[in-house]
Amino acid sequence: MINYKKDFPLLESGEIAYLDSGATTQKPKQVIEAISNYYGNDNANPHRGAYKLSIRATEVYENARRKVADFINAKRPEEIVFTRNSSESLNLIAYSYGLNNISENDKIVISIMEHHSNLVPWQFVAKKRNAKLEYMYINDEGIIPEEEIMSKIIPGVKIVAITQVSNVLGTINPIKEIVKRAHEVGAIVVVDGAQSVPHMKIDVQDLDVDFLVFSGHKMLAPLGIGVLFAKKELLDKIPPFLFGGDMIEYVYEQETTFAAAPAKFEAGTQNAEGAVGFESAIDYLNNIGMDNVHKYEYKILEYAMKELSKLEFITIYGTKDLEKRAGVISFNLKGIHPHDVASILDSKNVCIRSGNHCAQPLHKYLNLESTCRASFYIYNTMDDVDRLIDGLKKTKEMFNKWI
Amino acid sequence: MDDLNSIYTDVIMEQSTATYNKHKLDGATNKEHGHNPSCGDDITLEIIMDGDVIKNIAFTGHGCAISQASTSIMIDLLKGKTKEKALRLINIFLKMVKRQKITDEEIEDLEEANALQNISNMPARVKCAELAWYTMQRLLEK
């Protein structure tokens, strides 16, 4: 297996075992340099100036949009809107599509494994429109059974919002089947791809999703740039979310007409640095190949699951069927609080997440207060997993006397 | 590891699993709920006031070793104190964990609670130690 750590300045020395890529990823030097080059050579306000430099900044920004469109196989770059992150993309959909297309007694269906960012906006829309918010629940394996999909996505449902990969359980949801069912009953589908797009090949045409959101920072790109993909006919139809510069066509004292999508949804000066970094991150991933990224992570996941299962004091949540799980493992040490586990691992420079991972309803449903989470990316190695296991043994030893 | 051992001391570990302060309080005159949304720590403090004196305190809920120990130690310290004295001690404790200046005398006044002094070296865990104390402050100021 190739060790990619050499490309990542923060990981290169091997001091840190970084196992929190589900929260955010580290950045390769290619991305860091691309951002630096942008400011060194191409910086101006995109879409604004008539001078060469501004045109170059515009080109750089629009090239990034094309790169993102190709990456998820969107039909055209105009279907890509840059936002700050997945949360903002989901808010855009909730405000611009949700509020305008949901009426009293309509149903919105989400799953119990949603991140708060794909849950709270739908609560807001449901409350505002007197609509019903319904949940698809999971079985003991952390999987949404087919009967649950068929019994919840029924006529009267207008929006189905679902994560492709759970940020807690790692479950890979059957998006294609869900989309097919939703379209049969006349609902549109919003897919939260924050935990899937960075890790596997996604084809929006094949999946036939209506909306897909994801964040750059979870896939090697800088913080502060995210994506909303939507089918062109939807983007054309829905009103703007934020108003301001560069999203208008004509402005009169009392009236305004808006620019065509995607500009309609990109008010104000945009994050060109983020877009450039995003493009570079996609180049980096394409160079490895998304199929290889997935295969590589699968090997790490397989090893981690095997080693963790050997520790009798650990409970792992979610499915053991690795075909249905991405590189995320949530677990608990019997009698030891996740925060204490994370602190003790931190003293050995092993970074894991502890808490409820922005998924309180899921934790409540599983009857858990909080969990530890290790999540992987291409720069992780078997050695990182070994360090996790050693750290967990050490934690157990420390607490043995007291629990 | 030095930082770690100065935090997960015997006092803290013992208090984190101690149950003598962890129960419902019969005849409680007042209670307050404290919650740490980022980690899920969740406690409820109940007190019995006798005039201006805190006659009894107990807690229920769940959380990490630091927050549980801190709660139990706080209860030991504040039981039997007047409201005014208790608020003063809470104030000293909150200053201590935030590394604000306090005198040696004030540290001594905290008795066993000064075992949490080193938490200030672990910024990510300060809020675990603070939870009970802020909750108690709100309860007394009600």
* pLDDT recorded at residue B97: 94
* pLDDT recorded at residue B7: 86
A146 close contact with B: CB closer than 8 A:
no
In chain B, % helix, strand, coil (3-state, to 5) comes to: 55, 20, 25
Q: Do A355 and B8 touch (CB under 8 A)?
A: no
| Dist CA B86 CA B53 (whole Å) | 9
- Give CATH for domain A30-286: 3.40.640.10
| Dist CA A63 CA A80 (whole Å) | 12
Q: Do B65 and A403 touch (CB under 8 A)?
A: no
- CATH code (residue B6): 3.90.1010.10
Q: Do B39 and A401 touch (CB under 8 A)?
A: no
A4-19+289-400 maps to CATH 3.90.1150.10 = yes
Q: Which residue, chain included where needed, has tokens 């087919």? A: A146
- Is B32 a residue whose pLDDT tops 70? yes
Task: Please state the ipTM of this predicted complex.
Answer: 0.89
Q: How confident is residue A277, by pLDDT bands cut at 50, 70 and 90?
A: very high
| Chain B: closest CA distance from residue A162 (Å) | 23
The one-character DSSP state at A38 is: I
* pLDDT recorded at residue A98: 98
| Chain A: closest CA distance from residue B127 (Å) | 11
Residue A213 · residue A184 · CB < 8 Å: no
> What digits encode the pLDDT tens for the residues A149-181?
999 999 999 999 999 999 999 999 999 999 999
| Chain A: closest CA distance from residue B43 (Å) | 12
* pLDDT recorded at residue A201: 97
CA angle A311, A22, A198 (to 5 degrees): 125
* Positions of A marked active-site: 358
What DSSP assignment string belongs to A97-159? IIHHH--TT-EEEEETT--GGGTHHHHHHHHHHT-EEEEE---TTS---HHHHHHHS-TTEEE
Of B3, B40, B125, the CB nearest to A355: B40
Q: Do A339 and B64 touch (CB under 8 A)?
A: yes
Q: How confident is residue B2, by pLDDT bands cut at 50, 70 and 90?
A: low
* pLDDT recorded at residue B37: 82
Q: Range with the lowest mean pLDDT among A42-46, A62-66, A194-198?
A: A42-46
Tell me what the pLDDT averaged over chain B comes to.
93
Mean pLDDT, residues B65-84: 96
Residues of B in contact with A347 (CB under 8 A): 1, 3-4
* pLDDT recorded at residue A76: 97
Q: How confident is residue A250, by pLDDT bands cut at 50, 70 and 90?
A: very high
If one counts the domains in chain B, the total is: 1
Q: Considering chain A, what percentage of its residues have pLDDT values greater than 90?
A: 96
Q: How confident is residue A282, by pLDDT bands cut at 50, 70 and 90?
A: very high
For residue B52, what are the domain limits? 2-141
Nearest to B76 by CA among B58, B51, B50, B98: B58
- Where are chain A's structural domains? 4-19+289-400, 30-286
Q: What tokens appear for B89 in the block?
A: 């001690």
In chain A, which residue's Cα lies nearest the Cα of B128?
Answer: A339
* E strand map for A314-391: 314-316, 328-333, 350-351, 353-355, 371-375
Q: Do A370 and B13 touch (CB under 8 A)?
A: no
* pLDDT recorded at residue A16: 97
| Dist CA A276 CA A46 (whole Å) | 12
A59 close contact with B: CB closer than 8 A:
no
Q: Considering chain A, what percentage of its residues have pLDDT values greater than 70?
A: 100
Order across the sheet with A107-111: list the strands: A80-83, A226-230, A211-215, A188-192, A157-163, A107-111, A132-136
Q: Do A370 and B40 touch (CB under 8 A)?
A: yes
- Cα–Cα distance list, A307 to A176, A382, A385 (Å): 32, 10, 8
**What is the phi/psi pair of residue A84, to 5°?**
-80, -35
Of A346, A354, A402, the CB nearest to B39: A354
3-state SS of A168-193?
A: CCCEECCHHHHHHHHHHCCCEEEEEC
A vs B, Cβ pairs < 8 A, gives 50
Residue A220 · residue A281 · CB < 8 Å: yes
* pLDDT recorded at residue B38: 76
Of A347, A355, A398, the CB nearest to B39: A355
Q: Which residue, chain included where needed, has tokens 């939507």? A: A230
Tell me what the pLDDT averaged over chain A comes to.
96
- Is A319 a residue whose pLDDT tops 80? yes
* pLDDT recorded at residue B39: 74
